[in-house]
Amino acid sequence: MLLTLFFVSVTVNGVLFGFGDLNLPLIEVTYEGYIVEKNMVLNLWKPYLLNGVSTILYVTMAFMISSAFRSSTMAIGFSIVALFGGNILLEGLHRFDWSKYLLFANTDLTQYLSGRPYHDGMTLSFSIGVLAVYFLAFNLISWLMFTRRDVAA
């Protein structure tokens, strides 16, 4: 669905504004003050791919909640609350060093494009590692809860 969204948005914008600007270089000033020239098409892909990771994590969390509580309504509700409330929670917990291990501090991988991570010392590989641990934990909990259910034929 993310690929479809990307192609539809590029096509609609191309029809409305023209495709000629895709060949232009993208000039950006980094957080450190350096001027960098980037490829426009590659720069369009990065946010879509990095936001796709957070989508996968939230869907996995919703699946875990759904399999644990047998309620798709609860899974959708908790996922929406986590999506919107996670950033509010992070603002309150920013002063604690352990908050960099929370799921919500690592789901926005686009923070590394701007060079401003949630905490100093956080890197893209650190966030991917933390997200991999959460992904495995969510799937393990889902599998354990699902296999312990009594499935009637």
Please spell the DSSP secondary structure of 51-84, one letter per residue: HHHHHHHHHHHHHHHHHHHS-HHHHHHHHHHHHH
User: 27-52: per-residue pLDDT in tens?
Assistant: 888 777 888 888 887 888 888 888 88
Query: What's the pLDDT score for residue 152?
Result: 53
The yes-or-no verdict on residue 14 having pLDDT over 80 is yes
CA distances for 32 relative to 28, 76, 81, 115, angstroms: 11, 40, 35, 8
Query: What's the pLDDT score for residue 57?
Result: 92
Confidence of residue 67 (pLDDT cuts 50, 70, 90): confident
The one-letter code for the residue type at 20 is G
Considering the chain, what is the average pLDDT of its residues?
Answer: 86
Confidence of residue 22 (pLDDT cuts 50, 70, 90): confident
Distance separating alpha carbons of residues 8 and 123, to the nearest angstrom:
32
The domain limits of the chain are 40-148
Confidence of residue 75 (pLDDT cuts 50, 70, 90): confident
Contact present, 58 and 74 (Cβ < 8 Å)? no
Query: What's the pLDDT score for residue 137?
Result: 96
Confidence of residue 139 (pLDDT cuts 50, 70, 90): very high
User: How many Cα neighbours within 13 Å face the side chain of 96?
Assistant: 10
75 φ/ψ sector (left φ>0, alpha ψ -120 to 50, else beta): alpha
What average pLDDT does the segment 68-94 reach? 86
